[in-house]
Amino acid sequence: MTGIANLRELFTRNIRTSGIYIAFVLIIALFTVLTDGRLLSDRNLTTLVLQFSYILILAIGMVIIIIGGHIDLSVGSVVALTGAVAAVVVIRNGLPWWVGVLAALGTGLLVGAWQGFWVAYVGIPAFIVTLAGMLLFRGLTLDVLNNVSLSPFPAEYNSIATGFVPALLGGYGYDTFTLVIFAIGVLGFAYNSWRNRRARIEYKQTVEAPVLFVLKLVVVAAVVMWFAYNLATYRGLPAVLIVLAVLVLAYTLVTKHSVFGRHVYAIGGNLAAAQLSGVRVKRVNFWMFVNMGFLAAVAGIVFSARSDTAQPAAGNMFELDAIAACFIGGAAVTGGIGTVTGAMVGGLIMAVMSNGMSLMGIDQSTQQIVKGIVLLLAVAFDVWNKKRAAAAR
C-alpha cells in the first residue's frame, strides 16, 4: 500500500539531504542580515554566478570521482595547465579563440586518460596518482608559460565566462528572455517531480502528502523566478550559467539513469559486489578520470576567460574547494553516496560564505578558518548519520 509521509517523516527519513538545504537557507539568511541585504542584490547575485562557476563545474566531476570511492587532488593544476595551453595557442601563436578551446579540452582529456590509466590499470591509489599529478601538471604549466603570465585573450574567448545572452525578447527594465528560460526550467522541474511521484505511487512507495508536494513546487518556483528576476533586471542571462545548467542536467541524467552512473555507485558502494556482478571496474574507473579531466579543462577555460589571463599560479586550492563542495553537499567519505545536485548546493554554500565574508571585509585567513570548520562539521555529520542509521537497523 502506498504510504503518505508528512513533513516530519520526510525530514527524518531524508535527514542527510534535508540538512543540506536547511543549512543553505540559514547561511543565506545569516549573511543577508550581516551584509545589510547586499548579498541578495541583483548585481551581487550575478557576481556569484560568474565568480564561482568554475568551482561548481569542478564539483560535478569531483562528486562522480568521490561516489566511485576515489579522490582527485590535481584538478587545480589541470585548470592552470589547460588555461595555459589555451593562452599559448590563442595569445602567443595568434590562432582563433575556438582552436584554443579545443586545445584546452584535448589537454584535459589527455590528462584524464593519463591518471585513469595509473589508477584503473596499474592499480595505484587515486590519492597518490593525483598527488603526483598535482605536482606534474603544475610543473608543466610553468614550462608552457615560461613562468610568466599571458594576456589578454580576445573578446570572443572572454565572453565564455563574462558574456551575457542578448535580450532576444526585449523587456521594460528587465530581460524577458531570461524570465522565459527560467520559467521553462521550472515547468520542467514540476513535470519531472510529478512523473517521479507517480512512478513511486505505482511501485507502492511512500510519497509526501499532496499538499506538501504542491507546497514544494510553489516554493521552488518562487525562489527560482525571484533569482531569475534579479538576473533579468541587472544584465540578463550569463553565458556561463547556460554552460553550467547544461552540465548539471546532463550529468544528473548520466548519474541517475545511465548504466555508467549505476556502475559508479556500485563500485563506490561495494567494490567486491560490483566485481562479482560483472561490472567492468577498470573501464569505469578509467572513464571517471577522463571525465574529470574534461570538466577540469572546461573549468580552466572559464577561469582563464574570466580572469583574462593565464597565470602559473592559477587554480591554487581549487581542488579543496571542489572536494569541500561535494562533502558539504552530502557525498559520503567512503563512496557510493552523493548527487550532482547535492554537490551544487554544497558549492553554493561555499560560494555564499566566501562572498558574504568578502562583503563584510573579513580577511582571507579568517575565511579559510571558517570554511575549514564548515567542512569538518559536514564530514562529522556524515559520520554521525551513518552511526545513527546503523543503530536503527
Residues 6+ apart with CB under 8 A from 74: 111, 115, 130, 131, 133, 134, 136, 137, 319
Mean pLDDT of 145-154: 91
The DSSP line for 42-104 is: HHHHHHHHHHHHHHHHHHHHHHHHHHTT---S-HHHHHHHHHHHHHIIIIIS---HHHHHHHH
Greater confidence (135 vs 317) lies with 135
| pLDDT computed for residue 9 by the predictor | 63
Q: What is the pLDDT of residues 234-292, one digit of tens each?
A: 888 899 999 999 999 999 999 988 999 999 999 999 999 999 988 999 999 999 999 99
Number of C-alpha atoms within 13 angstroms, CB side, residue 10? 15
Nearest residue to 19 (alpha-carbon basis) of 327, 373, 368: 327
- pLDDT(169) > 70: yes
Tell me 40's DSSP state.
G
- Ranked by mean pLDDT, the top range of 51-55, 93-97, 233-237 is 93-97
Is-above-0.95 flag for pTM?
A: no
Average pLDDT value for residue range 39-44: 87
Kindly report the average pLDDT of the chain as a whole number: 88
Residue predicted with more confidence, 132 or 196: 132
pLDDT-wise least confident of 99-108, 273-282, 360-369: 360-369
Which of 7-11, 52-56, 140-144, 203-207 is predicted least confidently? 7-11
DSSP per residue, 266-329: HHHH-HHHHHHTT--HHHHHHHHHHHHHHHHHHHHHHHHHHHTSB-TTTTTTHHHHHHHHHHHT
Residues 203 and 368: their CA atoms lie apart, in Å, by 46
Tell me what pLDDT residue 259 has.
94
Question: Which of these ranges, 94-98, 151-155, 204-208, 345-349, has the smallest mean pLDDT?
Answer: 204-208
Res. 1 pLDDT band, cuts 50 70 90: very low
Q: How far is CA 181 from CA 16, 147, 184, 357, in A?
A: 31, 43, 5, 31
